[in-house]
Chains A and B, each alone.
Chain A
Amino acid sequence: MQLVGVRGVSKVFANGVKALDGASLDIEAGEFLSVLGPSGCGKSTLLRLIAGLTPPSAGTIKWPESERTGGKPDLGFVFQEPTLMPWATALANVELPLRLRGVARGEREARAAEALGHVGLAGFERSWPRELSGGMKMRVSIARALVTGPKLLLMDEPFAALDEITRRRLNTDLLELWQRTRFTAVFVTHSVFESVFLSQRIAVMNARPGRVLSELAIPAPYPRTEAFGTSAEYAALCRLASAHLSEAMMAA
């Protein structure tokens, strides 16, 4: 079932920069989709358009189910930086989306604590952001995005600023969380290895103005563990995705 349909979307910024030019993408409910492309290909812009943070200059973004029910699309957003409020504890940061929606304090705290538990941060409720490591801050950020139980989780290169070891752990934990909760994940990255390890499907974009040039299925079964990351199958898929990316970069 289609969750979001992006059709021929273009985005021209006020300064004249054309970030997207006729990008189309289908997001299926429950899937893990990666958007792979070189820097400046409009991946982040595409996510912000899907989130409704900025309107497209041309084209449409449709949410078939929301249109049927008339509700506002329910989604979570994880930025490249943890983007936490430094004056609030980890728990208060995770509570934020619920607070802004007017959820009562008791329920808010309980749900936020549960979300922190899901990202492996039980016991860190009262910690301040400055006391947490980069990886832990990103976990808080993911907990905040998931605390409302959204259908769609949009992630904009969330682990790009982290070290390799932390990134691997977060990748594995994110997959586990996805399998357990079954939200739809759209993961923007410029890393071939990350996109192959995580996703069922990769949409490859070319550079500015961005367009989805090709799509690639990653048929490997879940749960994907360290063993998958060292398998010949993984290496072959990475080569394939790499070829797609090179092609996209040539097309620019």
Chain B
Amino acid sequence: MSARFIAPVIMGLIILVLWEAVVRLAEIPPYVLPGPLVVARTLIADWATLAPALWVTLTITLEALAAAVVVGVLLAVLFSLSRWVELSLFPYAIILQVTPIVAIAPLIIAWANDVDLSLLICAWLVAFFPILSNTILGLRSVDHNLLALFELYGAGRWRTLIHLRLPAALPYFLGGLRISGGLALIGAVVAEFVAGTGGNASGLAWRILEAGYQLRIPRMFAALVLISAAGIAIYLLLSLLSYLLLRRWHESAVGPEG
């Protein structure tokens, strides 16, 4: 808690103070670069507009992450059970992963014919691969002697999966989940940009576009702050989940003093 927490906080404060000082001393107008105090004031003043937008973006992010977990884990299990399924499907999972989401988002939006659904699909596409590839790695990283032991006691594929492969894959899955949490948010924001939806149910990305058109740069910064804060919160929550699940047994969650 000590240096790990204090050092970045002090660093952040120094940067904010410098930023504010530069903006004031050089008399930079707020529509070019607003100082942190102006951004903070805008965040409070525009909260009524920004909060629903944050909620929209967070909802899509979390739904996409949940879908990524379900599909990623199910596919990984399927791949681990059948070599043929893996050989035939895995290349396509990689193609989905390497295709830039901005390039296929218009297609998805045109096909899905529903803005929320298309945003969800885009965010899911970005988020599911780390979960899939990490879980596959984990399901395979089983001690071969433990596998021999399960074979010795006549455990079938199914019980080997439940009692051995899935627990062994848990740390890998959680590592993938932490990456996917951030990616789901990025996917949701990028898709919103591409979709460019208006109306009441629009997210933070739309608020940024809108503020840009209207040259309300402080509001743009306020929306950016909210996106970053959401990303950090997601990462911290997933790290906490990981710690709680692994602290008893996995080296990654056990302190150096044991």
* Interface set of A (CB-CB < 8 Å, partner B): 48, 51-53, 72, 75, 77, 79, 81, 83, 85-88, 96-97, 99-101, 128-131
Q: Closest approach, in angstroms, between the C-beta of A22 and any C-beta of chain B? A: 25
Asked if residues B155 and A81 are in contact (CB atoms below 8 Å), the reply is no
Q: Please tell me if the beta carbons of A97 and B153 are within 8 angstroms of each other in the complex.
A: yes
B154 to A77, Cβ gap below 8 A?
A: no
Are B167 and A85 in contact, CB atoms less than 8 angstroms apart? yes
Chain A residue contacts of B148, Cβ below 8 A: 48, 51, 53, 77, 79
Binds A, one of B53-61, B234-242, B247-255: B247-255
Q: Is the CB of A72 within 8 A of B154?
A: yes
Q: How close is A52's CB to chain B, nearest CB, in angstroms?
A: 8
Bound-state Cα–Cα, A99 to B163, Å: 10
Is A87 a contact partner of B170 (Cβ separation < 8 A)? yes
Given A85-B164, A100-B163, are A129 and B152 also a contact pair (CB < 8 Å)? no
Our pick among A52, A85, A128 for the contact of B248 (Cβ within 8 Å) is A128
Q: Which residues of B contact A99 (CB under 8 A)?
A: 163
Note all chain B residues with C-beta closer than 8 A to A130.
Answer: 249, 251, 254, 258
Report the minimal beta-carbon distance from B242 to chain A, rounded to whole angstroms: 14
For residue B159, CB closer than 8 A to chain A, the reply is yes
Interface residues of B in 161-179 (CB under 8 A from A): 163-164, 167-168, 170
User: Apart from A77-B148, A85-B164, A86-B249, what are 8 other A-B pairs with CB-CB below 8 Å?
Assistant: A53-B148, A53-B151, A83-B146, A86-B250, A87-B168, A87-B248, A87-B250, A96-B149
The B contact surface, by secondary structure, is: helix
Partner of B154, one of A88, A101, A128: A101
| Chain A CB within 10 A, most for which of B151, B163, B167 | B163
Q: Please report the C-alpha to C-alpha distance between residue A86 and residue B167 in the assembled complex, in whole angstroms.
A: 9
A100 near B143 with CB under 8 A, answer no
B106 to chain A, nearest CB (A): 45
A86 to chain B, nearest CB (A): 5
Out of B145, B154, B164, which one reaches A79, CB within 8 Å? B145
- The complex places the Cα of A131 from the Cα of B170 at a distance, in Å, of 20
**Set of chain A residues within 8 Å of B254, measured between Cβ atoms:** 130
- Is B150 close to A, CB under 8 A? yes
Given contacts A53-B148, A79-B145, A87-B249, contact A100 B167 (CB under 8 A): no
Query: What residues of chain B lie closer than 8 Å to A48, measured between beta carbons?
Result: 148
Question: Nearest-CB distance from A188 to chain B (Å)?
Answer: 14
Do residues B163 and A83 form an inter-chain contact, with CB atoms below 8 A?
Answer: no
Q: Given A85-B167, A128-B248, A130-B254, do A100 and B145 touch, yes or no (CB 8 Å)?
A: no
- Residues of B within 8 Å of A, CB-based: how many? 23
Decide yes or no: A100 and B153 within 8 Å by CB, A86-B249, A87-B167, A87-B170 being known contacts.
Answer: yes
Report how far A83 CA is from B146 CA in the complex, Å.
Answer: 6
Chain A residue contacts of B145, Cβ below 8 A:
79, 81, 83
Residues of A contacting B164 with CB < 8 Å? 85
Taken together as a complex, chains A and B put the C-alpha atoms of A77 and B147 apart, in Å, by 12
Give the CA-CA distance A188 to B195 in the complex, in Å: 67
CB atoms of B249 and A129 under 8 A apart: yes
Give Cα A240–Cα B149 distance, bound, in whole angstroms: 36
| Closest residue on chain B to residue A82 by CB atoms | B145
A48→B163 CA distance, assembly (Å): 22
B2-43 CB contacts (< 8 Å) to partner A: none
Chain A's closest residue to B153 (CB) is A100
Do A100 and B248 contact each other (CB < 8 Å), given the known contacts A83-B146, A83-B149, A87-B170? Answer: no
Complexed CA–CA distance, A42 and B101 (Å): 54
- The residue in chain B whose Cβ has the minimal distance to the Cβ of A99 is B163
Contact B170 A100 (CB under 8 A): no
Distance between A90 CB and nearest chain B CB, rounded to angstroms:
12
**What is the bound-complex CA distance between A101 and B156, given in angstroms?**
11
- Pairs of residues from A and B, 8 with the lowest C-beta to C-beta distance, nearest first: A100-B153, A83-B145, A100-B155, A87-B167, A79-B145, A86-B249, A87-B249, A97-B153
Whether B146 and A100, one on each chain, are in contact in the complex, defined by CB atoms closer than 8 angstroms, is: no
A97 to chain B, nearest CB (A): 5
How far is the CB of B195 from the nearest CB of chain A, in Å? Answer: 43
Whole-angstrom CA separation of A79 from B149 in the bound complex: 9
CA–CA, A100 to B170, complex, Å? Answer: 21
Q: Which of B149, B155, B249, B250 has the most CB of A within 10 A?
A: B149
The chain A residue sitting closest to B159, CB to CB, is A100
Report yes or no: A83 in contact with B248, Cβ–Cβ below 8 A: no
Shortest distance from the beta carbon of B165 to any chain A beta carbon, whole Å: 11
Mark interface residues in B122-154 (1 if CB within 8 Å of A CB, else 0).
000000000000000000000101101111111
Cβ-defined partner of B163 (8 Å) among A52, A53, A81, A96: A96
User: Given A79-B145, A83-B145, A83-B146 in contact, is the A128-B152 Cβ separation under 8 Å?
Assistant: no
In whole angstroms, how far apart are the Cα atoms of A128 and B149 in the complex? Answer: 19
